[in-house]
Every structure is written in C-alpha cells, then in structure tokens.
Structure 1
Amino acid sequence: MAGSALLVVAFDFGTTYSGYAFSFRDDPLKIQTNQKWIAGSDQLISLKTPTCVLLDPNGQFDSFGYEAENHFATLVEDKEHQGWRLFRRFKMILHNNKDLSRSTTVEDINGKSIPAMTIFTMSIKYLKKHFTEALNKQKTGIVDEDIQYVITVPAIWNDNAKQFMREAAENAGIEKARLKLSFEPEAASIWCQTISTDVKETWSKAGRQYMVIDLGGGTADISVHEKQIDDTLKELHKASGGPWGGTVVDNNYLEWLTKIFGNTTMQRFKNEQMEDYFQLLRDFEIKKRGIGPESKGKITFRLSASMKELYQEESNRVPLEEKIDQLGLSGMVTLTSDKMRVEVSVIKQLFETPIHCVIEHVQQIFAKPNMQKVETILLVGGFGECKLAQNLIQKEIKKKKIIIPEEAGIVVLKGAVRFGHFQGIVRSRIMAHTYGLSVCTTFVEQKHKNAEVIFIDGVKEALNIFTIMIRAGKEVNIGEIISTGPLTPIYPDETNIIVYCTEEIDPEYTTDIGCKHIGTLIVKHSNGKSKADNQIKASFIFGDTELLVKAVNIRTKEEFSTYMDCL
C-alpha cells in the first residue's frame, strides 16, 4: 500500500484556518507541521493560519492568513485601503452548492465579487510555496516530482465541490498525477490507528466499529468505520453531516454584539477599525476555546474604545448601560473603559444551536439497526477541541465511549499525510448517491407511461431512462468496476455517455426532481457497417474520491475514459 513518493505533504484548507504537514517515506509517522504562524502584535502562535486572502488594487495576490488580515487592517487605519480586497471564510461556498461551477463567485468583506476559482487557486498556491520554502531550509535536492500532494475535503461534499478543489489545486501548479483528495473524517480515523496509548485498543482489533465526528470551522463531517483484519478500514454508513461548525458560534457572537451596539455601529467598526475588529474576533476565538462545562462567573472580553466611540456618535443612541438593561442583560453584562464582562451562561447559549444539530444527527444514525455495534465516538477537529462541545456531546449521547485525541485540531492533517503514504488503507465506502446513465430504450407502454418519446429508424423509443449502475447506500470497494451490457449507439459518429446521480434509491428518469447531470464521456466511433458494429460497454470505477468512467468499443477494443466533469 505504500506510495513511491519521497515525501507526502497534506494541505488542510479549512473554513476558518488552514495549514500543512508532511513526512518522509523513510519515517512516515514523523509528521512535521509549520510552527510559525504568528497572529500579530500579541504574538499568538498557531499551527494554522486564517483562511484569508488579500488582493492589491490590481487584483494581484498580496498575502494570506494572519499577514493578510494584519496588512489590510493597517491599510484601513492609514485610509489607504481603497481598491484592496480581503476574502475570508470563503470555503463554505462549496458546501451543498448544487449550482457550483467554474464561474461561481465569492464576495470579499465589502460584498464585491470575484471568481471563486481564482481565490481558491491563490490560496493553495500560497500554501504550496510556503511549504516548499520551509522544506528547502531543511533539505536540499528534493524536486516537485518527489512529492505526493494530499488535500483534505469534507466527506459530505458533493462531487462538484470535490472536483472544484482538485481543479484549484491543479491551477496552483500541483500535477494531477501527484494529487489525492482525502476525506477529513477518514483521515482522522487513519491517524488514530497509530495512537500508542491504551485508547488504541478501542479500534486496533479487527471487527471494531466506531464513529468519527470531525467538528471543523464550517462543517460537522461524520463517518462510521470498521477495522478489518488486514488493517484496512471499511465504511459502514455513508458520510453525513451539515453546516454545524465553529463559525456558527462566531456568527452568533457577532449577532449578539449587534443587538447591543446596533447594525450601523458594527458595520462602521468592521469597515473603519479593521485592526480592532480582527482583534475582537481573535480574542473571542481564544476565550471560546477555554469555556468548559464547569466555567462560572464572568468572562472578560477586550472592548475597543473605538467601538464605544462609534456607538456614541449615533445621535439617537441611548446610553450603553441603558441598552443592556433593555435587552434584559442587567447584571449579566458590565462595561468598563476597555473591557466587557459577560456572564458565562450568556456565552454558552451561543454554542447550543450547532452542537444540538450535531447531537440530533448522531442520534438519528445510532437509531439505525446496523449501527448497534458502534460503541465508540472519535471526536476531532478544531471545534472538537472545545470543552463545552465535548461535554454537551458526552452528556446527550449516552452509552457511547467518547475519545478526544491529543491535538484534535490537527488529527485530520496528520491522517491525510499517512493516507498519502498508504493510499490503500481505506478499503470500501458507502455510496451517498445513486449513479447511472441516461439511455433511450424501446418504448413499452406499461413501463414508460411518463417517458418522453422519439422515433429512431421508425422505432418508438423512450428517452431519459435512468439506467442504474449503483444505488445509494450500497457498499463499494475502492477501485471496484461496475460495467453495463452492450450499448448500441443512436448515431453513427459518436455516443455521448451521459452520467447522472441522485439521492433517490430507484429513480426512473434522469429528468426526475433531484437528478443531477454530473458529466459526459464522448465516445468516437470507428467505421462500421452498422450501429451494432460500434456497440460499446461502459464501466464505472467507484469508491475513490472521484468517479472515473470508461468505455470500450467492443469490436475494435478502443478505450475512452474521463473523470466526470461536475462543474
């Protein structure tokens, strides 16, 4: 299962934060991460940096991460930011976006749009450059051809989002043949096979079943695995989840502040006092990580003087203390010159919505008959490190052992590196969709009452019939090939193999609601005396992070293949 690359690097391109890790083939478990992301004046050092891109007035890349935030904040302070554009937390544009295409746009913090592909490409290109520079300081003589690249993606993403990320990576200079996508909860599961503590006993034996909950910044991504006797992993339940990550808590905090200070003040504060605005967000990020179930009393937040001044500039504003009373927060929120002290119970309420969504979803999975042997939950991800989130999940999901590994926020990143070295470690997956072809077939009154019809060579044919290749919920081995019988072409020159998917188990027509066209393979025909001379057999290769479709001319043995173009 081991790859041939000299080293593997994984990029965790997150909603809130991004980073990378790598290891060499001769010691794959000795994984190195960048230790020098520095937030700014307070010298906060992190293993990841904000997913944030700054463009100059000419639309060219300027900086990424903390550097981008700090540079833009300085420009705003000096009133020199005209034309500069800052993009933050744009990854969620890919989540559950059925209309995603190469022309999809993303907005900067002022609402101006640019093609999302441009911003994603710039981000990956920066991470690749940063990694290369760090590597060259450590070792010389390594060329790009020696490197296997891995990019983590949520397992719950649609095919179009996965393809979007792959194309952005290729546009950033990563060669297609040396690029793999790794599903985030799978990566976490892979890394936890290496844990050397007594916790490993939970999943080290063949037959052990466990759930992985990856709580990230944007999404909660959930998978269920079974350890196999050959040390590979078998998926037991299709990947699922939703937009229930840590950014929901951040947004709830900003909405809560808006109730106190008003929308106008918050907008001006964001636009005119950018440095203070970023500091407010970073301060909340640090404080929210420390909130636990036993936290009592009040939490102190830094409150910028500029924010209070902007509030007071509004002529119709009531005094802040009075506004707090009006909101029923008397005694729970107190203000001093540069501090806001908030009763911890108020802050805890900001966490309830996303965590309860996760809990409800997990309970629905455990209620299924085939999930009764799953006894353990592995909780990972940046939001998974939150003590309050951990406690609420442990409290509500009873009779399950919940394990939070060390450095839960980078477990996915480390697992993605190991996946790059041992790509066969995941044996099978559960299909999230039904896949099939759009075909026309001889019209039968009893079967095709609702079909669109056409006459071909005098024969009445039913159009848009959904010929199922594999159904949602079916287990499929990685690399498994599923083929059709002989398909007779309609036209003499070429055949378009049109692939569709849907969440339905038994779709009838490719025009049914919920059916999505995900790609077409064009097969050119060699000369033959009849259409039957150019019969083809189509094959789907399932189970990998992308769907490969092949076709072969039965007579000439000529082969055609393509990854589905879902964009």
Structure 2
Amino acid sequence: MPSKTLMVAAFDFGTTYSGYAFSFRDDQTKIQTNHNWYASGGSSLLVSLKTSTSVLLNPKGEFHSFGFDAENKYASLAIDDEHKGWRLFRRFKMVLHINEHLTKHITVEDFCGKQMEAFPLFVMSIKYLREHLLEEVTRQTRGINETDILYVLTVPAIWDDNAKRFMRDAAVAAKIDPKRLKLALEPECASIWCETLDKDVKGALTTAGSRYMVVDLGGGTADISVHERKSDGTLKEIHKASGGPWGGIFVDKNYMKMLDQLYGKEALIDLRKTEMSDYFDITREFELKKRTFGTDEPEKFVIRLSVSLLDIANKHSEKSLEERIAALDIQKNAITPRGKDKLKIDETLVQSWFKGPIDLLIQHINSLLSGQKRKRMHTVILVGGFSESPYVQQRLRKELHGARVIIPADAGLAVLKGAVMFGHNPSIVSSRIMKYTYGTEVLRSFDENKHQAEQKIWMQGKWKVDNCFDVFVRVNEEVRVDQQVTRECTPNSEISLTHIYRTTKQNPEYTTDPGCELLGTVQLENSTDIPFREQVIETTFMFGDTELRIKMKNTTTGKRAFMTFRCFQ
C-alpha cells in the first residue's frame, strides 16, 4: 500500500446489489457506507445500503444511470413508450462465473434479450461507484485528494485467474490507478470484519489455532473458505476456496417460473413492455418477502402483485386465474388469490423455491466438515445478502452436523466492511491454498525410461521431448503471501516466449494432458548485441496474493515482462 494512503475505499460489485464503503487511516474502524439508495417495492419501500446492479444506456449507447435509478428511469420511459433504443442490463456479473472460456469479448443480454459485450458494462459500473464515492467523500471532508485513496475491489474466492483479471482490467479502464488498486477475496473480508464484532463471535475466531468456515452467500454464488488463526494474529487458509451457483437469484427464478405458469409467459413479457414499473415493483416486493420468509406465520406469506398483470393475463387466456392454479402440480390451496393483486402462498411451496440451491449448499458444507480439515473446526460464519434470510439460517443451523452457525449483524455488509479493513492491513492474511498446479511448457532431454520413442524430436543436436509441464507450485499446496519461485534459463533467440499453464492435477506430465489449460504468455525481448549464451533469464511466479503474478527478467539487460492472460490477448 502506498505510504501516503489516507483513505481506503472498497467496492462490492455484486450479482444483484452493489455498494461501497470507506474509512480514513486515522480512524480505520469507523467505516461509512452510502445510506441514500432505496426503491419502491409494491406497497412497501425497499431500503438498502446497496443499490441494484443495473446499467442503463441511452439510444446512443452511452451510460445514463446505474442502480435503482437506472431501473426507475427505464420504467418511466416505458410508461410513455419512449424507451425504444434505451438498453437496461441487470445481474450480468454471473457471466464471469459461468464461462469456462472467458474472453474480454464475452456478451450479455439486455432487458429485451439483445446482446452486448460485457466488459464496457463492468467499466461503467465501477466508474459510477467510484464517482459516487468521491462525491460523498468531498461532501464530508477536505484535504483528501483522489491520489490519497487506496481502492479495494472484492471478488469471489472461487473465481479463477481470468475472471479476477477481467475485474482488474475493468477497474483500470474506469480510471482507477492500478498502483492503488487491490483485489480482495470476499470470504476473507468477511472473516476480517467478524473480528470486530461482539465478544461471542470474536472469541470463536481470534483464539490462536481456532479454525472456522466462512460461507459468503450472495445473489449469484456461495463462496466458501476455511481459515485458521495463527499465533501472530494472521489468517491462514487451510482449504482451497470452493462453492457454486447457489445464491439468492435462483430463488427469484423459481418464483418467476411460478408466475409464468400462473399468468403465462406472454403476459409477463407484455407487462415488461407496457407496465415496466409494475414489473419492477413485483420483483422488489418479492425481494422484501424473501428477506423475511421464515419469521412470519405461514398464513402471512401474502405477495402483492399488480392489477395490470391479471388484466394482461386475461387478454392472453380465457382461463381464469383459479383454473390456471388448479392446473398446476401442487397441493390444494397452496396458492389462493386475494383480490386482483395479491396471492396467499403456502409455506411448503415457498420452501420449494429455496430447496435446490440450499440443498446443494448444505451437502457441500457437510462434505467439508466431514473431511480431514474438520479437526478443531466447529464454527460456520454465514455472511452475504442471501444469508440474511431467516429460512436459510434455520436450514443451516438444523442440518449442518455438529457445527455452530454464526450470523453477524449486518451480514450483507460484512464483505464490504471487511474489505476496507483488509485495505488498511493486507498482511492480515499470511498464506493461502493453491487451487491449481501452475507451471510452464519446457523442452526436456529424451529419456527412454520415461518417454515414448514417438515423442522424441531432434533439436540443437540432441533428442528432446516437447510440451513438458515444468511445475512451479502444486494444487492444495500452502503458499505464503510473499512466496516466489524462480527458475533460470539461457535464451536461444531474440524473443523469449514462455507459455503459462495450469491444471487441477497434482503431478501433470505434459501440457497437452487433459485438463491442462493455457493461462497466458510472457514475451521478453533479449539483446542481440550480447551472445545469447551470456544472457540469463529469470522466470518468477509470485504466489499467495489475491492475484497470480508472473514476470520474466533478463538479468543481463535488466528488461522485464509480465504475463498477458490468454483471455485478453
């Protein structure tokens, strides 16, 4: 961290909601968030310390607004049928998780199903959050320049290197100085924040040797890390990050699927086109109900819809709502209309919307708890927006065998606030577990005891074998945050080109083996004025940080080069 940093600002760019927080160096624990984001949800008010992850573009393709403002503007335009050419994008972050072969040109759909490259949307979103933050800081204090700020951008620990690089490049394109930008892993941030809470929580986390699991349940994913507290107070990761697409948006999808069955897909499409504000009210109303489900009596789960939805549905079908309900494969009286704009829904049916993602989450956590890392680990910290659901809390407390489940206050802000603290003290995490085996592609001397005859090639007067995997670090290996591995070689041409590979295998032999993936390349220019045999090249892997860094250096000329990820070549 630059020595003159006076403030740390963190951005939590989420699947459903995004926000920021900050604190000053002289009062690090006084973490501030924005309190001015809110949106209507039917008859209620959705108050949030984060805003919707939505971007609105004008007909020229230029950025117009972000968050609830973007959704509200788009809805108001639609009322007067003036939204033609405007484009609204929502919940596009999941594209970075579901794409195995991520590139900078990956596309997402807007509200009407039209494609656009995702990268500019990430840039616009981060730029908006940054500018909003700077305006808030300017209102509060004087004497802070933008160059005094260290920015922290949170990312899921289960993301791979390409997705992290995508986010870093988007932040840099949003005018954030790369020298003052650090990525933070979301479960680690949550763990750091929990240290500041009440004595009961703090006691379970801060004792030397204590082990615990952090489950970050967001809108899109469940992100899980296992930590151990070392005697010097730092955190040690003892199991590689894991998780899956088990976030709150999958409950939303199940709810919307039911509405499709009740009112018809055509009616929902028409509602989005003609009564867009009503459509957003429906989704926000459900968000409010989802956050409280599990606390009310079963008969009190009544969802408010819009009168216009039923009117539109009746235009598309001659069947009444009662007839459409009767046609569903559900128990009798599971859904009961209350007038034209409300539905009373049985508790069991609501639970079924949660069942898929929560079942997978519980199964995964229990498998981690029953493994070798289970020793001395009896605590599960539950954070993230989806973790605030009382139903989710009840399920996990009931079905996680022998584990104590802790849900800190403001669990939805734990990652964001912890990211600020991480920015002030990145050394709080001392080691991490490698998710992959990393190495380079090299030539090796042919050995008839190891290699097949058909593998040998004649090069430089000797029999060689190409496509060999030279391992620098192995999967599940513990590495310090400052750990480096360096290998030396002599160049044989003007350009040294090193290919970087990764795999989940412990002992890969060749880069052509199944599961081996080209991650990127490093290209270094050598001197033609000095004999190649007199030049030395160092290839260094820098492990343990939140991002993998690889550099090559010609120690004779002093020239350096860093890895270019394949997805951005």
With normalisation by structure 2, the TM-score equals 0.95
Give yes or no for contact 1:219–1:245 (8 Å, CA) kept in 2.
Answer: yes
Q: How does 1:308-457 map to 2 (within 5 A)?
A: 308-315=310-317, 317-327=318-328, 328-335=330-337, 336-449=339-452, 453-457=456-460
- Counterpart CA distance in 1 for 2:169 and 2:378 is 39
Look up the match of 1:217: 219
Amino acid at match of 2:84: Q
Give yes or no for contact 1:548–1:564 (8 Å, CA) kept in 2.
Answer: no
2:483 aligned with 1:480, yes or no? yes
Give yes or no for contact 1:547–1:563 (8 Å, CA) kept in 2.
Answer: no
Amino acid at match of 2:185: F
2:295 aligned with 1:287, yes or no? no
Give yes or no for contact 2:11–2:129 (8 Å, CA) kept in 1.
Answer: yes
Identity %: 46
Query: How much does 1:521 deviate?
Result: 1.3
- Counterpart CA distance in 1 for 2:547 and 2:563 is 7
- Counterpart CA distance in 2 for 1:30 and 1:292 is 33
* Deviations, residues 247-269 of structure 1 (Å, cap 9, x unaligned): 01001111111122222222222
* Greater Cα shift, 514-523 or 418-427: 514-523
In structure 2, relative to structure 1, the CA distance for the partners of 1:90 and 1:451 (3 Å cut) is farther
With normalisation by structure 1, the TM-score equals 0.96
Look up the match of 2:8: 8
Give yes or no for contact 1:12–1:20 (8 Å, CA) kept in 2.
Answer: yes
2:558 aligned with 1:538, yes or no? no
Length, aligned pairs only? 563
Amino acid at match of 1:457: Q
Matching residue within 104, 110, 113 for 1:111:
113
Look up the match of 2:145: 143
Give the secondary-structure state (helix, strand or coil) at the position aligned to 2:298.
Answer: coil
* Deviations, residues 181-229 of structure 1 (Å, cap 9, x unaligned): 0000000001111224332111111111100000000000000001111
Query: How much does 1:274 deviate?
Result: 1.1
In structure 2, relative to structure 1, the CA distance for the partners of 1:145 and 1:449 (3 Å cut) is same
Q: How does 1:151-230 map to 2 (within 5 A)?
A: 151-230=153-232
Query: How much does 1:166 deviate?
Result: 0.4
Amino acid at match of 1:35: H
Give the secondary-structure state (helix, strand or coil) at the position aligned to 2:502.
Answer: strand
Give yes or no for contact 1:224–1:235 (8 Å, CA) kept in 2.
Answer: yes
Query: How much does 1:2 deviate?
Result: 9.8
- Counterpart CA distance in 1 for 2:333 and 2:48 is 35
Query: How much does 1:329 deviate?
Result: 4.7
Give yes or no for contact 2:11–2:152 (8 Å, CA) kept in 1.
Answer: yes
Look up the match of 1:562: 562
Look up the match of 1:24: 24
- Counterpart CA distance in 2 for 1:246 and 1:43 is 20
Query: How much does 1:528 deviate?
Result: 6.8
Q: How does 1:220-299 map to 2 (within 5 A)?
A: 220-292=222-294, 295-299=297-301
In structure 2, relative to structure 1, the CA distance for the partners of 1:159 and 1:60 (3 Å cut) is same
Query: How much does 1:387 deviate?
Result: 0.7
Look up the match of 1:552: 553
* Deviations, residues 420-444 of structure 1 (Å, cap 9, x unaligned): 0001110000000000001112222
- Counterpart CA distance in 2 for 1:513 and 1:60 is 43
Give yes or no for contact 1:155–1:240 (8 Å, CA) kept in 2.
Answer: yes
Look up the match of 1:517: 518
Matching residue within 40, 51, 54 for 1:52:
54
Give the secondary-structure state (helix, strand or coil) at the position aligned to 2:76.
Answer: helix
In structure 2, relative to structure 1, the CA distance for the partners of 1:150 and 1:529 (3 Å cut) is closer
2:88 aligned with 1:70, yes or no? no
Give yes or no for contact 1:452–1:464 (8 Å, CA) kept in 2.
Answer: no
- Counterpart CA distance in 2 for 1:244 and 1:450 is 49
Query: How much does 1:105 deviate?
Result: 1.3
- Counterpart CA distance in 2 for 1:440 and 1:379 is 48
Amino acid at match of 1:150: V
- Counterpart CA distance in 2 for 1:391 and 1:3 is 46
- Counterpart CA distance in 1 for 2:198 and 2:295 is 29
Query: How much does 1:363 deviate?
Result: 1.1
- Counterpart CA distance in 2 for 1:287 and 1:459 is 72
Unmatched 5+ residue regions in structure 2? none
- Counterpart CA distance in 2 for 1:21 and 1:270 is 33
Give yes or no for contact 2:46–2:284 (8 Å, CA) kept in 1.
Answer: no
- Counterpart CA distance in 1 for 2:137 and 2:331 is 52
- Counterpart CA distance in 1 for 2:23 and 2:454 is 55
Amino acid at match of 2:35: Q
Query: How much does 1:235 deviate?
Result: 0.3
Amino acid at match of 1:245: G
Give yes or no for contact 1:324–1:330 (8 Å, CA) kept in 2.
Answer: no
Look up the match of 1:130: 132
Unmatched 5+ residue regions in structure 1? none
- Counterpart CA distance in 1 for 2:454 and 2:524 is 25
- Counterpart CA distance in 2 for 1:11 and 1:159 is 19
- Counterpart CA distance in 1 for 2:122 and 2:179 is 20
Look up the match of 1:94: 96
Amino acid at match of 2:53: T
Look up the match of 2:502: 501
- Counterpart CA distance in 1 for 2:518 and 2:278 is 47
- Counterpart CA distance in 2 for 1:96 and 1:222 is 17
Amino acid at match of 2:535: N
* Greater Cα shift, 356-365 or 211-220: 356-365
* Deviations, residues 445-487 of structure 1 (Å, cap 9, x unaligned): 3323287554323323211111110000000000101122x32
Amino acid at match of 1:207: G
Look up the match of 1:470: 473
In structure 2, relative to structure 1, the CA distance for the partners of 1:472 and 1:499 (3 Å cut) is same
Give yes or no for contact 2:46–2:288 (8 Å, CA) kept in 1.
Answer: no
In structure 2, relative to structure 1, the CA distance for the partners of 1:222 and 1:450 (3 Å cut) is farther
Give yes or no for contact 1:3–1:423 (8 Å, CA) kept in 2.
Answer: no
Give the secondary-structure state (helix, strand or coil) at the position aligned to 2:233.
Answer: coil
Give the secondary-structure state (helix, strand or coil) at the position aligned to 1:39.
Answer: strand
Amino acid at match of 2:458: F
In structure 2, relative to structure 1, the CA distance for the partners of 1:563 and 1:23 (3 Å cut) is farther
Give yes or no for contact 1:39–1:45 (8 Å, CA) kept in 2.
Answer: yes
